[in-house]
Amino acid sequence: MKRILGSAGLICALLLPAILSARQAPTLPALKQEAVTEVDSLQRLTQQMVDEIFSFSELGFQEYETSRYVTGILEKNGFQVERGVAGIPTAWVATYGTGKPVIAYITDLDCIPRASQKPGVAYHDPLVEGAPGHGEGHNSGMAVNVTAALVLKKLMAEHHLVGTIKIFPGVAEEILGSKAFYVRAGLFKDVDIVLGTHVAHEFSTTYGVGQGDWTGLVSVQYFFHGRAAHAAFAPWDGRSALDAVSLMNAGWEYRREHLRLQQRSHYVITNGGDQPNVVPSEAAVWYYFRELDYPHIKELYELGNTMAQAATMMTGTTVDHHLVGSAWPPYFNKVVAEVQQKNIEAVGMPTWSEADQTLAKALQKEISAKVEGLKEKVEPLKEPVKSPNGGGSDDVGDISWNVPMVYMFYPANIPNLPGHSWPNAVAMATPIAHKGSTAGAKVQAMTALDFLLQPELVQQAWDYFRNVQTKDVHYETFLAPEDKPAIEMNKEKMEKFAPQLKKFYYDPLRYKTYLEQLGIQYPTVKANP
């Protein structure tokens, strides 16, 4: 070959690699710009995913339709999908690319009991009475991550970028049911950076303990066993499991006064017996024990077990308990958050229409919240508070203590809502959610590019993880070796409601949007009284 190269050939041979490498590696800003353009070109798909998953309305561990739909899109687009990971039928991992770094996206997909709601309607109007619904907005997260992943895949292929993209579903987040099992199954062992994302009414990120409004928890069900008897003819022959539940709860309420202010604990009675003339032989109560750190959570969990045991002694019953979920309080990576913040600022808030603002204000008025419409500006980087007060939990916490991770909050919902209920579903299949998800996808794609192209940033994130975050605190799972994912949870509820919900599944081939399919005028608000 060499001999037939003339001088022109030689010049070509010398220049070609340079030309090729110039073609192979556009600058990072140019790639980010390309990512933004590509995300915009996928707006229709993003909207379809938001609407479709909204219409599935599946509770934790029962996200079968949602997982089938999302993995279908990913497989069609060249991602390898492994299903049923960590012993959870609705969990999976989708992978594209090879080599380091390995960047993982994660977001939730389950919904909330009794939160069924027609989208775009600013008052309570369920799609199916009593049915589950997306009263937190988890239907939008996969639209964000999958859009970003498809764009990344295109750019990686086009420009020969080295690295691996993984996508995880936050199965059963509402019952904190999956992530500790993901970690135990080693799903994050080879992952370098985790970019988690969660629906919000603002565009923001944070690091460390953030605003201090997180807790970790153990979620546990206590099953009491007594002895049935005729409640009037022979009550002395019976031993009431319901009495044990009641006494455990009463004991907890008295003790609550003497617990740290940072704790949050709550319970629901999931089985209170069958009918009054039968002494309940079976009864059950479900507790969430929340605190700020591992030792305090463990202490509450053990106190709960003691109280359950004490209640059996008072009532002549027995008890066993099943762990449903557990979560470390999330702790986010400063290096990743700082990189992400710049991208949030570059993307900026979506442009809200008059109709979007009208819906937001009408809903805020309807539920007696502060009426201020939708946010217009992105938030500055939220510095961590000094003394956390505690609040809700998210089982991504377990991941955040194993790999450098952040949560990007994208603006797809309305401010000042109560959470975990129908008002939080109102915007979630409307242009508010569609635009917010597109904005979120841009940041997810841009931040992944930052880490794919700058290995030194991956190193810095790990330095922070090792030398700051986990310098004195080491991850230890709440799971006992015999604990298994609670994959039977919500099965009956979904079996009851799925046939009714199916009639309302979104058909993107026939209707441009879900609002159009449902014949909902956007926005639908109460006439002024």
Q: Of 239 and 382, which CB lies nearer to Zn ion in the complex structure?
A: 382
Q: Copy the structure tokens of residue 34.
A: 């390309």
User: Least distance from C-beta 108 to Zn ion, angstroms?
Assistant: 5
**Spatial contact of 202 and 411, defined as CB atoms under 8 Å apart:** yes
3-state SS string over 112-127? ECCCCCCCCECCCCCC
Nearest approach in angstroms of CB 173 to Zn ion is 5
CB-wise, 108 or 202, nearer to Zn ion? 108
Query: CA 237, 243, 246 angle in degrees (round to 5)?
Result: 180
Is 65 or 108 the residue whose CB approaches Zn ion more closely?
Answer: 108
Query: How many residues belong to the site for Zn ion (CB under 5 A)?
Result: 1
**Between 140 and 317, CB nearer to Zn ion:** 140
Q: Please, what is the minimum distance in Å from the beta carbon of residue 389 to Zn ion?
A: 19
Task: Return the beta strands (E) in 32-118 as ranges.
Answer: 80-83, 92-98, 102-108
Q: Nearer Cβ to Zn ion, position 111 or 525?
A: 111
Using the minimum distance from each CB to Zn ion, give the nearer residue, 175 or 220.
175
Nearer CB in complex with Zn ion: 34/108: 108
Question: Phi and psi at residue 122, in whole multiples of 5°?
Answer: -90, 30
Residue 71 or 413: which CB sits closer to Zn ion? Answer: 413
Strand partners for 269: 285
Q: Are 231 and 403 in contact (CB under 8 A)?
A: no
Nearer to Zn ion, 380 or 419 (CB): 419
Nearest-CA neighbor of 31 among 452, 435, 415, 507?
452
User: To the nearest whole angstrom, how small is the minimum distance from the Cβ of residue 359 to Zn ion?
Assistant: 22
Distance, in Å, from the CA atom of 157 to the CA atom of 171, rounded to the nearest integer, reads 29
Pair 363, 122: CB distance under 8 Å? yes
Q: How far is the CB of 470 from Zn ion (least distance, A)?
A: 25
Contact pattern for Zn ion over residues 81 through 120, marking x by CB under 5 A: ---------------------------x------------
- Coil, strand or helix: which one is 459? helix
Is the four-CA dihedral 477, 483, 484, 488 of positive or negative sign? negative
Point out which residues pair with 216 in neighbouring strands: 291
Nearer to Zn ion, 199 or 445 (CB): 199
Query: Minimum distance between the CB of residue 96 and Zn ion, rounded to whole angstroms?
Result: 25
Which residues make Cβ contacts (< 8 Å) with residue 66, sequence separation at least 6?
53, 56, 58, 90, 109, 142, 169
CB of 511 to Zn ion, least distance (A): 27
Q: Is 190 helix (H, G, I), strand (E, B) or coil?
A: coil
Name the residue type at position 267: Y
Task: Give me Rg for the CA atoms of the chain.
Answer: 25
Give the span between the Cα atoms of 447 and 332, in whole angstroms.
15
Residues 454 to 483 in contact with Zn ion, rule: CB under 5 A: none
Nearer to Zn ion, 108 or 192 (CB): 108
Minimum CB–partner distance for residue 116 and Zn ion (Å): 18
The tokens for 392 are: 């809700």
* Cα dihedral 245, 250, 255, 256 in deg (nearest 10): 90
Q: Is 492 exposed, middle or buried (0-12, 13-18, 19+ CB in 10 A)?
A: exposed
Q: Omega of the bond prior to 101 within 30 degrees of 0, cis?
A: yes
How many residues make up the chain in this entry? 529
Prior bond of 523 cis (ω within 30°): yes
CB of 139 to Zn ion, least distance (A): 11
Q: What is the smallest separation between the CB atom of 54 and Zn ion, expressed in angstroms?
A: 15
In the window 262-301, what residues touch Zn ion (CB under 5 A)? none
Q: How many CB atoms lie within 10 A of CB 293?
A: 15
Q: Which residues are within 8 A (CB) of 472 and not within 5 positions of it... i.e. 6 or more apart?
A: none
Nearer Cβ to Zn ion, position 108 or 243?
Answer: 108
Q: Which residues are near Zn ion by CB under 5 A? A: 108
